[in-house]
């Protein structure tokens, strides 16, 4: 369920919003290794705005057609702008990827990279002269970088083919919507494991590098949210097969850590290793569903700048 003012700005381009409302659901199916089949769309609109609805529908259908998804039902009603999509897909029960099937010793893999969508959200807030960014990002990033970040935020690419290719290869998977650490936590809790992550292995997009602020980079990489990349685990013996999938899909797949057996309160523990062997302790583990708290980010910045 996507709610205006919570999950997107009311003025968001409706074509992109139509795409994203289906994309985030396709991403859930991707994480299950399922083939998308059917969708239902329930829409509440403050008024019957024909041009908005036409653009939204065009966006929704552009992605539905691309993935051969049939719209089999739904609802339209008056109300605060709210989008609720239900999606159904198919996968053999024995091939379905789950959160609770990661194993001790599994390598932890990440598709693409994280953090650009959260930076895209910051770019949208940047133009507010009274806001916390107050134009600082416009100065720091190139136009192309800002557009790339906005595209990641507003028009994410669900990793549908990757999910299907991981059948019989990965032991578990999840898509990253709440941030890398928060979604990894779901896998660890469900599988009763803990994780060791090598920070130097985390892929970092050019726009994030450009910020030239390691604390901020890591905040976006680890806790940004809205990434819709797949985080999956597989036996180390699967490494060459996974590299083959990366080549075939022309999609970077990076091993970023290892999962380890855990007991008691160690379940869910995530240790973040610096290149020098020391541990990094993030201030914020997950994405706050009730709004991204930028105050902590800018406080970090401020301290560094002082």
Contact residues toward a second copy (CB under 8 A) are 1, 3, 5-7, 40, 42-44, 73, 75, 77-80, 82, 84, 86, 289-290
Task: Compare residues 3 and 54 and give the one whose CB is closer to a second copy.
Answer: 3
Strand, coil or helix: 38: strand
Q: CA-to-CA distance for 214 and 104, rounded, in angstroms?
A: 31
Shortest Cβ distance from residue 275 to a second copy (Å)? 38
Shortest Cβ distance from residue 5 to a second copy (Å)? 8
Q: CA-to-CA distance for 33 and 65, rounded, in angstroms?
A: 19
Cβ contacts of 284 within 8 Å, gap of 6 or more = 219, 223, 293, 296
CA nearest to 206, candidates 137, 284, 144, 271 = 144
H or E segment at 10? none
Task: Compare residues 44 and 269 and give the one whose CB is closer to a second copy.
Answer: 44
Dmax (CA) for the chain in angstroms is 59
Are 123 and 208 in contact by the 8 Å Cβ rule? The answer is: no
In the numeric block, which tokens belong to residue 263?
């007991």
Shortest Cβ distance from residue 48 to a second copy (Å)? 9
Task: Compare residues 2 and 260 and give the one whose CB is closer to a second copy.
Answer: 2
| CA Rg value for the chain | 20
Strand, coil or helix: 280: strand
Q: CA-to-CA distance for 164 and 6, rounded, in angstroms?
A: 31
Task: Compare residues 95 and 289 and give the one whose CB is closer to a second copy.
Answer: 289
Shortest Cβ distance from residue 237 to a second copy (Å)? 33
Shortest Cβ distance from residue 44 to a second copy (Å)? 5
Task: Compare residues 112 and 225 and give the one whose CB is closer to a second copy.
Answer: 225
Task: Compare residues 78 and 281 and give the one whose CB is closer to a second copy.
Answer: 78
Shortest Cβ distance from residue 175 to a second copy (Å)? 14
């Amino acid at each position: 369920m996507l709610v205006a003012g919570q999950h997107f700005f009311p003025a968001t381009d409706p074509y992109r919003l139509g795409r994203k409302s289906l994309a985030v659901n396709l991403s859930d199916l991707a994480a299950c290794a399922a083939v998308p089949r059917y969708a239902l769309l329930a829409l509440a609109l403050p008024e019957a705005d024909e041009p908005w609805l036409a653009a939204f529908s065009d966006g929704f259908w552009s992605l539905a057609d691309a993935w051969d998804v049939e719209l089999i039902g739904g609802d339209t009603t008056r109300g605060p702008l709210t989008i609720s999509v239900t999606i159904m897909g198919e996968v053999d029960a024995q091939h379905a990827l789950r959160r609770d099937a990661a194993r001790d010793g599994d390598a932890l893999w990440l598709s693409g990279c994280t953090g650009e969508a959260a930076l895209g959200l910051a770019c949208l807030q940047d133009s507010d002269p009274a806001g916390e960014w107050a134009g600082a990002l416009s100065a720091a990033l190139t136009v192309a970088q800002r557009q790339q970040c906005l595209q990641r935020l507003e028009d994410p690419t669900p990793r549908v083919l990757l999910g299907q290719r991981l059948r019989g290869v990965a032991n578990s998977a999840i898509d990253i919507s709440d941030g890398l650490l928060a979604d990894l936590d779901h896998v660890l809790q469900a599988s009763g494991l803990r994780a060791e992550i090598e920070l130097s292995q985390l892929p970092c997009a050019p726009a994030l590098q450009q910020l030239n602020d390691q604390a901020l980079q890591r905040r976006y990489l680890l806790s940004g949210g809205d990434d819709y990349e797949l985080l999956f685990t597989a036996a180390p013996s699967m490494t060459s097969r996974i590299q083959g999938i990366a080549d075939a899909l022309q999609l970077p797949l990076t091993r970023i850590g290892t999962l380890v057996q855990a007991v008691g309160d160690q379940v869910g523990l995530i240790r973040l290793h610096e290149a020098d062997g020391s541990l990094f302790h993030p201030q914020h583990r997950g994405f706050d569903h009730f709004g991204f708290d930028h105050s902590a980010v800018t406080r970090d910045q401020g301290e560094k700048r002082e």
